[in-house]
Amino acid sequence: MLDRKFVRENSELVKENIKKKFQDQKLHLVDEVIELDEEVRTLKLKGDSLRSERNKISDSIGLLMREGKKEEALESKQKVTQINEELVSIEEKEKKLNDEILEKMMMIPNMIAEDVPIGKDDSENVEAERFGDPYVPNYEIPYHADIMASFNGIDKDAAGRVSGNGFYYLMGDIARLHSAVLAYARDFMIDKGFTYCIPPYMIHSDAVNGVMSFEEKENMMYKIEGEDLYLIGTSEHSMIAKFKDQILKMSDLPITMTSYSPCFRKEIGSHGIEERGVYRIHQFEKQEMIVICKPEDSEEWYNKMWHYSVELFRSLNIPVRQLICCSGDLANLKYRSCDIEAWSPRQQKYFEVCSCSNLTDAQARRLSIKYKDENGNNVYAHTLNNTVIAPPRMLIAFLENNYQEDGSIMIPEVLRPYMGGKEKIEKK
């Protein structure tokens, strides 16, 4: 969320930013916010004037009483009562207007970085760099669900009977591999200096509204019926919300945390749920990383974070590339974002496995996350997040890139301690 004063003083810049994101239907919000803000400021001035008048009259009542001017004192008391009633009305109007402004402000997208490529959707994202040579072996690589099935490692039919489409059972070596990559990713981030955390898997609506836009909330979040609780779509939600309404010590920044959680998503949209595989599903597990830092440090942390993803995937023998998200592909709270995409030798193309974002102070304003600077001023912090690893989707890249001609799966050296020392898994 932007600062109201910034919108008032830079209305054309804010409108241009909205156009860059191809959200012209929101242009009217800028003028409406400015108009409502003017009403609020007028009411505030009137309220301040009435309070000053009330204080003067209140101060005079005692003097009038001491001078025996009881009738005049009574008139002054009545005047104070009238002013108080008028102030209550003004404060109610102010609150109503401020609520309207907040609702509109939360729909106005965050300002994007100047160097973000302009494009309507993810088809116009821009490749920046490749890491590792994309390799296609001279033997056929089966579909990932078929690879899993060859190890008796997946059962979507049973999951469909129990839970419906978009769910799965993982079993045996595939389930163990799933847990192994999560454990390896956890230790990888701990070694980078991040504090490990297991967060709540359900959060209140005010936390949801703080970490994401209304559009994302409707398309992603599952609500618990009859309660003010939502299942998290990613642990970033509860990790960032942990610091809601807090004034942090500058000496504690940056806060760097990595978290494990299951994730739950409606996955409403044109892409839909995958019928056979596990690329797009309702439930998965993920290791996430978040950073809360001073504004001047957020771009440095952004670059560190996506590089961690590259390093992690390369250690698992998976070629990746960095894809810069264009303006139309940025969620409303994002200043900039990039995807790390893994190479699929079967499809001979890359697909998303990580998403790294700098949200500047957009989340912090919604959640009131501040720190006290060296001058004693309360400053909104910057927040960032990035996927560490999200199986079972990343298992697709892992299985394809480590698949051998005999149908076995090679286990990279870094992962062997988490797989009981196994160098490969083989069909039984």
CATH class held by domain 4-105 = mainly alpha
The pLDDT score that the predictor gives to residue 270 is 44
Quote the tokens at residue 99.
Answer: 């609520």
- The model's pTM is 0.89
Give dist(CA 382, CA 295) in Å, integer. 5
Q: Across residues 271-299, what is the average pLDDT?
A: 85
pLDDT tens digits along 294-312: 999 999 999 999 999 999 9
Q: Vertex 221, ends 21 and 246: CA angle to 5°?
A: 80
Architecture of domain 122-425: 2-Layer Sandwich (3.30)
Give dist(CA 101, CA 379) in Å, integer. 21
Give dist(CA 353, CA 351) in Å, integer. 7
The pLDDT score that the predictor gives to residue 266 is 86
pLDDT tens digits along 77-129: 888 899 999 999 999 999 999 999 999 999 999 999 999 999 999 999 999 99
Order of strands, edge to edge, in the sheet holding 382-389?
126-131, 320-324, 336-344, 349-358, 382-389, 283-293, 255-264, 195-197
Percent of the chain with pLDDT over 90: 83
The pLDDT score that the predictor gives to residue 73 is 82
pLDDT tens digits along 255-266: 999 999 999 988
**Mean confidence (pLDDT) of the chain:** 93
End-to-end CA distance of the chain: 54
Instruction: Determine contact, residues 338/310, Cβ cutoff 8 Å.
Output: no
Tell me the domain boundaries of the chain. Answer: 4-105, 122-425
